[in-house]
Amino acid sequence: MTPVVVPDRAPKKKSKGPKIKPSPAARRRSLTGWAFLLPAAILIGIMMFWPMFQALILSFKTGRGSALDFADPLWFNYTRMLEDEIFKMTVGTTLLYLAIQVPLMLVTALILANILNNPRLKFKGFWRTAIFLPAAISLVSYSLVFRTIFATDGLVNDWLLALNLIDGPVNWLGNTDTARMVIILGLLWRWTGYNMIFYLAGLQNIDPTTLEAAKMDGAGPIRTFFSVTVPQLKPMILLTVIMSTNGTLQLFDESFNLTRGGPANTTMTMSHYLYEVSFVNNPNFGYGAALSYVILVMVAILAAIQMKVGDKRD
């Protein structure tokens, strides 16, 4: 009988080549790069990460002013939020702003960017500047202007009375629904042009041959927009969604300057409540620090979800 030869199935070890040591010039370049990065890294660590760590420690303490001690139990400030009706209300209000304002703003910005990207449009520079200009105005200034316009004796009531659309002055900032609407309008006016610039930059980087190919295939403007333009803008759309979500969850200026959180805290945002807890009503830095970390976790979770859903690269 012919013997059966069993092949050797043991994996062959790859021979390791000699390690190449970096040249002195490469080492010098690397050290030079680290030398330039080190001051910035140290400043970021001192100015950002160290205060964040201190705030985390502070969130486990209770007391007033500088007389702070570790809570018993340590997570007391976090469990307190579950019983804090004002905090629950601010969470709901902030999420309401997020659900209404962000989609409206981004869709409007995308439509405006598509219109202003038309090469046949006249005075494009003027229109782009006019729509973007609100983003360059101070947050406090524009909030005070909106507060004046929507006052009981403000410009909006004067116009509506002149057009006989209302019988008497409307207290826009004294009613929960209308006050929230004013804040949303202010956010749309302030930030739509800002996001439009991102989309406009993305549109100008789209290969025009793809649009021409869609036109040759018989696609109309709307079909081309949704099937060709929007998919190529997906990275920019994802960026603006994340930025707008983070900004809305940390919204402060409009709530503070437009309505002062009223009426009865119904327009107050989470960041505004954090300010009130920390610096206004019997300052409680421990509870305020815990609130700030809850906001941070919410921002991180929503950003991670948006990245997971929106980023479909292989």
Taking CA atoms, 99 is separated from 55, 289, 309, in Å, by: 29, 26, 17
Same domain, 216 and 301: yes
**E strands present in the chain:** 61-64, 67-70
pLDDT 10s digits, 27-50 = 888 888 888 889 999 999 999 889
CB 90 within 8 A of CB 273: yes
So what's the pLDDT on residue 314? 45
Same domain, 47 and 88: no
The two three-digit tokens of residue 145, written as one number? 């202007």
pLDDT 10s digits, 122-133 = 888 899 899 999
Same domain, 116 and 265: yes
Worst-scoring range by mean pLDDT, 47-61, 85-99, 175-189?
Answer: 47-61
Q: Is the pLDDT at 159 greater than 90, yes or no? A: yes
Same domain, 112 and 235: yes
Domain final position from 76, 104, 136: 76
Domain final position from 48, 76, 104: 76
Q: How many domains does the chain have?
A: 2
- Please check whether residue 14 lies inside any domain of the structure: no
- Please check whether residue 4 lies inside any domain of the structure: no
Same domain, 71 and 180: no
Domain final position from 76, 109, 133: 76
So what's the pLDDT on residue 14? 55
Same domain, 165 and 202: yes
**CA atoms of 269 and 248, how far apart (whole Å):** 9
251 three-state secondary structure: coil
Same domain, 153 and 121: yes
Domain carrying residue 49: 29-76
So what's the pLDDT on residue 251? 92
Taking CA atoms, 218 is separated from 89, 111, 208, in Å, by: 51, 22, 16
pLDDT 10s digits, 255-314 = 998 898 988 999 999 999 999 998 887 788 889 899 999 999 998 898 888 888 766 654
So what's the pLDDT on residue 6? 47
Same domain, 47 and 115: no
Q: Is the pLDDT at 1 greater than 50, yes or no? A: no
Same domain, 58 and 171: no
- Please check whether residue 211 lies inside any domain of the structure: yes
So what's the pLDDT on residue 70? 86
